[in-house]
Amino acid sequence: MPPSPAHATRPSPSPDLPPLALWGGHECTVNRLQDRWHDQTLLNGHETRDSDLALFAGIGIQALRYPALWERMAPGGGPTREFAWTDARLPAMRDLGMEPILTLCHHGSGPPGTSLLDADFATGLAAHAAAVAQRYPWVRDWTPVNEPLTTARFSALYGFWYPHTCDERLFWTALVNEIDATRLAMRAIRAVNPQARLVQTDDLGYCHATPPLQDAADFQNHRRWMGWDLLCGMVLPGHALWERLCGHGLEARLRAIADDPCPPDVLGINHYLSSERFMDHRLERHPHRSQADRNVSRHNGVPLVDVDAVRNRDEGVLGLPALLRQAWERYRLPIAVTECHNGASREAQARWFLEVWRGAQALRAEGVDLRAVTAWALLGSYDWNRMVTRFAGHYEPGVWDVRGGTPRPTLMVPLLQALSGGGELAHPALQVPGWWRGIERLLHTPESDRPRHERPLSDPGEGALLLVADDGPLARLTARALELRGLPWVRCGSDLPGALATVRPWAVLDARDREGLAGPRRREGCPHGPRTSVARQCAEAGVPCALFTSAFGPGLSAEGLSLPGVLVARTGPVFMPWDAQARAVQLLEALEAGRPVRAVSAPWHAVYGPDLVDGVLDLLLDGASGGHNFFPPEGWSEAAWARHLAEVAECDPALVREDGAADAQAPAYPGGAAVSLLPIAETTLERFVREARLSRMAGEGGTRSVERREDDTRLEPASREAR
């Protein structure tokens, strides 16, 4: 066990603590790749949209993690700082009743000319801290360096972010530099405001392993505490990693830190469903691992894969409450969950936040001094499914969806409003546990063992979605998506008014394919008349309704687009991963077989069915209505799409032979300035390739072939020893 910090004898929290607080944070990372910067505040539009602050306050946020970043405010690296942006926002934030928690470096490495390995990094950040504190002496809470351990790993050990080194000595040097920067920054801040508090964040996970790899997991489980251990002055002789760091020439610096520690006032725990890892030497058990987990590493010569434990470890995971309890027992410091987010389908986002909130309440009842849970990525995030190792443009919505330029509230808004007010949201989608709680969490769970969520029309229970369906592939795909997402549903019979009265659904989804979007137009098995008739009946009953129509032809009548509570998904031709007749599937199979393919220069309008259905279900859960676009946002030709497909599938793009004779009858591309709610094509292609291959093995009946996996973190390929 490590030496105990001086504050380890703090008493248990008083039962008179204020209620659990809701904090928030917009994803504000500025990270550097070579000589390019990735600035989330620019991408999500908050840079020019100060009206967002009123939205944040309106859901009950009491404190807001907010950037005053060194790279942004002193881009030249000198003493001059640009305060206009924070001058306009920080006082407004305070007037709205939100306390700022100012972050000075968020996965960054300083302005040009410095880096985490620079000997002057700590003094440079401290000078920035002093300037910001003098400008805003009333700010109490500070995070000089967000996630120092995580940032050091990705920047100096894995080489993903600047300065792109892969060396353990440099990794520890970067971490110690960040800890010194934090100590010096807080000293400068407290010279201005002696009451200033350090809210020190980092990711907290756990590494599980098979026996041949257990020593590697043990090392990682010691390493995960190192940022906080250093700040608390606990890294002394006897610490599990003392000798290792001294072996890299850091003994003098470790002793200096221990002699002048800077323990956090609040321990900020960031945790995601993928934070617990599983190191497995049995490669044969993971033949279809995702893009995120496809790398094969080695430890002491033993090949291994490092995969998310929640989906791959039969025994399960520790879970966030157990990890928070570990942190409390180790440090006896006040705790806040400073990032709570699940990049997945909408109900999974909401279920995860609700579970974390309930877990925090339970820990408080045990005596853990847990102050707050933070709704992270309020405005969503870009490229975090790739750990921002490339600038691809993949967007994950947060509490609001900003793809249209104006933040659109999601299901998370009423949930957070309810929690901050002391209650809970009674939405039917939240009555089912998250997928991580059931047997379906495991990738190798047989189809027959997965829970079923379809309910009989004769006994629908409460809180189901009503599905109006024909016998076509679009309806079958929608039923699968409802099953995979754990959304209880009822198939409508021939009597829609009777079904509305019996089921009392929270929404109706008309998945009939009356325009031949996913194959031949369905003429059989289509009761209930025109879609406008279904939409009208739902509008009269006050039940939200969604339906599909073509973006390339006359599509739905104007009446269907104007009915209250009706959501219309405008889309292109729809293809499925199991459809051997689909052009996309044929292209993939030919490329994988090494055969040349001819592709035209006409626009590629086809839409991946699973992306379409997931997007529509998300909108229904958000309570959205009106027309929404689902067509490829890039405007690629078929030939360009095929070349990108080849790259994602690791085939030869030269196999694609472009035919310049475009189809004169091909419809015009409907994009332009219109906003599409489909993912970027690269993300779609990654999903399609994986699911098409699974479909080939499992057949059309295999639901694994249409499972959304946005919770993956996709890293670029790298061969390295496990660290």
pLDDT tens track for 14-48? 556 789 999 999 999 999 999 999 999 999 999 99
pLDDT tens for each residue of 445-490:
888 888 999 999 999 998 999 999 998 999 999 999 999 999 999 9
Q: How far are the Cα atoms of 70, 111, 118, 147, 170 from residue 162, in angstroms, in the given order?
A: 15, 11, 12, 15, 12
d(CA 610, CA 214): 39
Examine the domain organization and report whether 163 and 188 are in the same domain: yes
Q: Of 397, 356, 371, 285, which Cα lies nearest the Cα of 624? A: 397
Whether 582 has a pLDDT exceeding 80, the answer reads yes
d(CA 527, CA 494): 6
Examine the domain organization and report whether 489 and 351 are in the same domain: no
Examine the domain organization and report whether 416 and 517 are in the same domain: no
Q: What is the CATH number of the domain that holds 664?
A: 3.40.50.720
Average pLDDT of the chain is: 91
Examine the domain organization and report whether 342 and 482 are in the same domain: no
Beta strand pairing call for 545-550 and 381-382: unpaired
Strand boundaries in 168-322, DSSP class E: 197-203, 206-209, 266-270, 276-280, 297-299, 302-308
Give the domain-ending residue among 429, 454, 488: 429
Examine the domain organization and report whether 473 and 354 are in the same domain: no
* More confident position, 603 or 210: 210
Whether 294 has a pLDDT exceeding 70, the answer reads no
Residue 205 DSSP one-character state: -
Examine the domain organization and report whether 425 and 450 are in the same domain: no
In-domain check, residue 130: yes
Examine the domain organization and report whether 456 and 341 are in the same domain: no
Tell me the HSE value of 20 on the side-chain side, using a 13 A CA sphere.
28
Beta strand pairing call for 297-299 and 302-308: antiparallel
pLDDT tens for each residue of 171-182:
999 999 999 999
Identify the band that residue 3 occupies on the pLDDT scale cut at 50, 70 and 90: very low
In-domain check, residue 10: no
pLDDT tens for each residue of 66-81:
999 999 999 988 899 9
Examine the domain organization and report whether 266 and 379 are in the same domain: yes
Query: What is the pLDDT at residue 528?
Result: 74
In-domain check, residue 62: yes
* pLDDT average, residue stretch 178-190: 98
* pLDDT average, residue stretch 106-121: 96
Q: What is the CATH number of the domain that holds 365?
A: 3.20.20.80
d(CA 488, CA 482): 7
Examine the domain organization and report whether 378 and 500 are in the same domain: no
Examine residue 163 and say whether the peptide bond preceding it is cis (omega within 30 degrees of 0).
yes
Place of tokens 């390995």: 117
Range of the structural domain that residue 588 is part of: 446-706
Examine the domain organization and report whether 450 and 411 are in the same domain: no
Calculate Rg over the CA atoms of the chain: 26
Whether 721 has a pLDDT exceeding 50, the answer reads no
d(CA 429, CA 415): 11
In-domain check, residue 38: yes
Query: What is the pLDDT at residue 293?
Result: 56
Whether 430 has a pLDDT exceeding 80, the answer reads yes
Identify the band that residue 2 occupies on the pLDDT scale cut at 50, 70 and 90: very low
In-domain check, residue 6: no
Which of the residue ranges 7-21, 210-224, 688-702 would you say has the lowest mean pLDDT?
7-21
Which of the residue ranges 106-115, 176-185, 656-665 would you say has the lowest mean pLDDT?
656-665
d(CA 64, CA 199): 12
For residues 664 and 671, the answer to whether their CB atoms sit within 8 Å is: no
* pLDDT average, residue stretch 176-190: 98
In-domain check, residue 232: no
In-domain check, residue 382: yes
Query: What is the pLDDT at residue 523?
Result: 63
Q: Of 171, 124, 169, 181, which Cα lies nearest the Cα of 151? A: 171
Residue 676 DSSP one-character state: B
Whether 715 has a pLDDT exceeding 70, the answer reads no
Query: What is the pLDDT at residue 4?
Result: 43
Query: What is the pLDDT at residue 702?
Result: 52
Which of the residue ranges 153-157, 195-199, 455-459, 711-715 would you say has the lowest mean pLDDT?
711-715
Tell me the DSSP string of 455-511: E-TTS--SSPEEEE--SSHHHHHHHHHHHHTT--EEE--S-HHHHHHHH--SEEEE-
- Across 171-185, b (16+ Cβ under 10 Å) vs e yields bbbbbbbbbbbbbbb
| Residue 19 tokens, joined | 């209620």
Q: Of 68, 146, 74, which Cα lies nearest the Cα of 110? A: 74
* pLDDT average, residue stretch 126-131: 98
Number of domains in the chain: 2
Whether 699 has a pLDDT exceeding 80, the answer reads no
For residues 308 and 272, the answer to whether their CB atoms sit within 8 Å is: no
d(CA 319, CA 674): 42
Strand partners, 99: 63
Tell me the HSE value of 704 on the side-chain side, using a 13 A CA sphere.
24
Give the domain-ending residue among 367, 396, 429: 429
* pLDDT average, residue stretch 641-652: 96
In-domain check, residue 221: no
Examine the domain organization and report whether 423 and 450 are in the same domain: no
Examine the domain organization and report whether 407 and 488 are in the same domain: no
Give the domain-ending residue among 397, 429, 461: 429
Identify the band that residue 667 occupies on the pLDDT scale cut at 50, 70 and 90: low
